Amino acid sequence: MIGLLRRAGTGLGRAEAGLSILVLAAMAVLPILEIILRKTIRVGVPGSILIVQHLTLLIAFLGAALAAREGKLLALSTASFVPERLRGRLRLFGHAAGAGVSAWLAVAALDFVRSEMEAGRILVLGVPLWVVLSILPIGSAAIALRLAPAERGEDRQTRERRGGEEHEARSEERAPLDPGHGREESGEREASSR
């Protein structure tokens, strides 16, 4: 079951990264396309400014969800500036507070999206405004879910750091493959002691 959840999480992460790349590309291409079309055939892309504005909203929430996944939200990374003995508790508090606030924002954003659905406003090209604004509750919920499991006390950076330290310790315990390994150092020590 855990393997299935990990694969789903990896797939979701890839989908987020792919969607982020797609949104950034659209944000870059749309204004260029607008300029080219206006200069050549004197027609622009309808609603291009509104589209880019709402893509900015989308990329902001995608970026925040990706940062939460990587444990790099700014407010949560400040625990590295406090003494080591307090980091675990502060990280736990930061993750719990962040998850709670994000969950609350997700609920409030869901109410907002529902009200936009009832209003029936159209953004551009027949796309309902609520479709675009649905990133608000989805993004907030993704952040909350990413912060909530980290409440166990360890974030991804800590696990990676610990894993790197364990790898270094294991590699130091192994005998070197090169039989001459270490002779240079002892030869240098002998030369410097003379």
CB < 8 Å & 24+ apart, contacts of 88-94: 88/153, 91/150, 91/153, 91/155, 91/158, 92/151, 92/153
- pLDDT (tens digit per residue) in 170-194: 555 444 444 454 444 444 444 444 4
Question: Which ranges in the chain belong to alpha helices (H)?
Answer: 2-40, 48-70, 74-77, 84-119, 129-133, 135-147, 156-173, 183-193
The reported pLDDT for the residue numbered 99 is 92
What is the rounded CA–CA span in Å between residue 28 and residue 56?
A: 11
Please check whether residue 20 is in contact with residue 66, taking contact to mean a CB–CB distance below 8 angstroms.
yes
Residue 186: its pLDDT value, please? Answer: 47
The percentage of the chain sitting over the pLDDT mark of 70, rounded to a whole number, equals: 68
- Residues 44 and 115: their CA atoms lie apart, in Å, by 31
3-state secondary structure of 24: helix
Query: pTM of this prediction?
Result: 0.67
Q: Tell me the domain boundaries of the chain.
A: 11-162
Q: Tokens 């396309």 sit at which residue?
A: 33
Interval 74-93: pLDDT, tens: 655 565 677 888 878 888 88
How far is Cα 61 from Cα 66, in angstroms, rounded to an integer? Answer: 9
The Cα angle at residue 123 between residues 117 and 13, in degrees rounded to 5: 80
Let me know the angle formed at the C-alpha of 63 by 62 and 66, rounded to the nearest 5 degrees. Answer: 85
- Say if residue 11's pLDDT is above 80: no
Distances (CA, A) of 108 to 5, 68, 136: 28, 20, 9
* Per-residue pLDDT tens digits for 107-130: 999 999 999 999 999 999 899 999
Say whether pLDDT at 168 is over 80: no
Query: Cβ of 160: how many Cβ atoms within 10 Å?
Result: 11
